[in-house]
Amino acid sequence: MELTRPVVTRKAEEYRQEEPLYAVEQEQVETLPGAFAAGEFGWRDAEWVVRWYYRRFLGEFPDSERREVEDGFRGNDDESVRGAIGDAVAADGVAAMLEPLTGLESVDVPVGSAFLLFVDPESYIVVGEREWSVLRDAGALEDPYPGSPSVGDYETYLGACQALCDDLGCDMWTLYRALWRLWKGE
């Protein structure tokens, strides 16, 4: 499968039309970047990102694992969450942005990448096995999805996504939506 501009555009539009979480995701893509940058967000905004990472699978992700992560995230105090997001927003570079986020309970690199998506949806994209697999099948990545992606793995993935976005003339949010639909094979 080749990732072309028409394919990405069509699949991103299918995502908009078919995915049940699209409306709330789009609202968050429009509002969270400014809220995170200004520090004008509430606990539930941060919690929403963690919940979204797993709930976007619409029940296909093991419920017990999802609940464990969500419960673990609730163990972070408000000050720590605000500090981590503020530090990530102010940081320069992927590793420096992910460091404070992954310092939070229940935030690994994939969940941290979800925060980056909602900090700057034009520059960052969430990583997961589905999205990675589509890129690998398209020849944009060589290695299979690592069981627990490191910051370096995310940087490799992000670089492949940035190159595709540059080639295709799209942003990361559009590419994400297309990758999600392409994985579904619909």
Give dist(CA 141, CA 134) in Å, integer.
Answer: 9
Q: With cut-offs at 50, 70 and 90, classify the pLDDT of residue 59.
A: low
Give the CA radius of gyration of the chain: 16
Q: Which residue has the tokens 């105090």?
A: 77
Number of other residues whose CB lies within 10 A of the CB of residue 97: 23
Q: Which is higher by pLDDT, 1 or 136?
A: 136
Query: At 11, is the secondary structure helix, strand, or coil?
Result: helix
pLDDT over threshold 60, residue 19 = yes
> What pTM was computed for the model?
0.94
Q: With cut-offs at 50, 70 and 90, classify the pLDDT of residue 177.
A: very high
Give dist(CA 106, CA 71) in Å, integer.
Answer: 8
pLDDT tens by residue, 62-102: 778 888 989 999 999 999 999 999 999 999 999 999 999 99
pLDDT at res. 142: 96
